[in-house]
Structure 1
Amino acid sequence: MLKKHILFIGLFTVALFSYGQNSDKAKALLDEVYNKVKSYDNIYIDFRSTLENTEANLKQETNGNVTLDGEKYFLNYLGAQQLFDGKKVYTIVPENEEVTIEDVNEEDDNVSPSKMLTFYKTGHNYQWDILQNVDGRKIQYVKLIPIDSNTEIKSILLGVDTQTKHIYKLIQTGNNGTKTTITVNSFKTNQPLSSTLFTFDEKKFEDKGYYITRN
């Protein structure tokens, strides 16, 4: 759950005669977002996450935050923490006094925090979607459809603030009917970071009696 994000169904249908043009326009907007993100030393995002499956009568809401510095990230979500130091992913669950250490799975269909703003660049077709007014902000949605038909993801919607070129909402619809939405509450850049934020201190957790597993 900690690396898995996103939700909703696009309501705007792109006319066949203008699909190519709108696809290029959608890709161009996402490229603007990417270039803006790459200009920052680091990013801090406070967000709200909603997981919903109507058939299973499931709806779960929670808040979280993530700090991103290049590919590295530190995530607080669902009562746990997840750290990626550029090589391995460390998932820390204080309630269970447990740490799991994993190698990165590049084949993972889901969007990890470090890829949250750049994953669109490969493996998707693009559609220009609806424009919404949210508290005076214009949010333009772009719909991404995975090219790989075997993926677990049906579609992804990215809502972009047209003024700041920051992502406001990330929405994923799964083939199993599960929908996950991440809404950005605050977006801060170039924050002072601790030099050890992305460093996992295994001895510290061993001394606390945590059970450490490696996958």
Structure 2
Amino acid sequence: MNKTIIKLNKMSKILKLVCFLLVSVSIQAQDAAKAKSLLDEVSAKVKTYENIVIDFKYALNNPSENINQESKGNVTLKGNLYNLNFMGVTKIFDGKKVYTIVPEDEEISISKFDDKDENAVTPSKMLTFFNTGYKYSWDILQDIKGRKIQYIKLIPISSKDQRKEILLGIDVQTKNIYNLIEVGKNGTRTTLTVNSFKTNQPLSDNHFTFTESKYPNYYINRLD
């Protein structure tokens, strides 16, 4: 009799465990679906803009190396075209070539852009990078200066990825990205925060054009 009761108790525990696992899987699936749905809304919203002008703050923190750095920058996006200013360097992509202008060294590097290279990163991809290569989960909702910011946690699928996780903060009302937090496997934490997000701005015709005559004394390094 006692043996039967013990077996029943064990079976009951196993059934409870199975039920718990099934519920957990169901909740995780729902969370992933919610996260994917919100990310799809962000991607769709980005595609509706003729251009985007972003002022941002970049912070790097690595406690083990005692590194704390902060920098500001801005970027203008129009389709795949971009004009990026960050840490004293300007980078322009005109649709065919990438121009990297370094005033401190009076040097300019010019290289072709290979759109078939899956590892090639452009600022425009930073607004839609999450579409492939990640597992999604619904994270915390924060009130930041009166704005409701919903975080989505992204876990890289590739084991070779040096990032442990990424937290993407999305403004619930506007469906625009507020910030992006990357946590590396080595403990490094980088945060990109959008200070200003403007769309459909009047831009000059040559905003994404490199004009060599503006840099008469610069050394030009043509990489290809």
- Please indicate, yes or no, whether the TM-score normalized by the shorter chain is above 0.5: yes
Q: Which has the higher contact order (CA 8 A, sep 6+)?
A: 1
Aligned residue for 1:30?
A: 39
Does structure 1 residue 101 correspond to structure 2 residue 105?
A: no
Does structure 1 residue 18 correspond to structure 2 residue 27?
A: yes
Report the TM-score when normalising by structure 1. 0.86
Gap regions ≥5 residues in structure 1? 1-14
CA–CA distance in structure 1, aligned partners of residues 68 and 112 of structure 2: 31
Aligned residue for 2:13?
A: none
Instruction: Please list the CA deviations of residues 72-92 of structure 1 after superposition, one character each: whole Å capped at 9, or x if unmatched.
Output: 111111011111112222111
CA–CA distance in structure 2, aligned partners of residues 114 and 37 of structure 1: 9
Aligned residue for 2:97?
A: 88
Instruction: Please list the CA deviations of residues 132-183 of structure 1 after superposition, one character each: whole Å capped at 9, or x if unmatched.
Output: 0001110000111111111232221110000010100011122332221111
Does structure 1 residue 73 correspond to structure 2 residue 61?
A: no
Q: Flag the 1:154–1:86 CA change in 2: closer, same or farther, 3 A.
A: farther
Does structure 1 residue 58 correspond to structure 2 residue 58?
A: no
Q: Flag the 1:157–1:103 CA change in 2: closer, same or farther, 3 A.
A: farther
Gap regions ≥5 residues in structure 2? 1-23
Does structure 1 residue 178 correspond to structure 2 residue 188?
A: yes
- Aligned residue pair count: 198
Shift of 1:108: 3.2
Identity %: 59
Aligned residue for 1:210?
A: 218
Report the TM-score when normalising by structure 2. 0.83
Could you say which structure has the higher helix fraction? 2
Aligned residue for 1:165?
A: 175
Q: Flag the 1:187–1:148 CA change in 2: closer, same or farther, 3 A.
A: same
Q: Flag the 1:154–1:101 CA change in 2: closer, same or farther, 3 A.
A: farther
Query: Per the alignment, in what secondary structure is the counterpart of residue 127 of structure 2?
Result: coil
Query: Per the alignment, in what secondary structure is the counterpart of residue 30 of structure 2?
Result: helix
Aligned residue for 1:187?
A: 197
Q: Flag the 1:104–1:144 CA change in 2: closer, same or farther, 3 A.
A: farther
Query: Per the alignment, in what secondary structure is the counterpart of residue 55 of structure 1?
Result: helix
- Which is greater in Rg? 2
CA–CA distance in structure 2, aligned partners of residues 174 and 100 of structure 1: 29
Aligned residue for 1:132?
A: 142
Query: Per the alignment, in what secondary structure is the counterpart of residue 192 of structure 1?
Result: coil
Shift of 1:123: 1.1
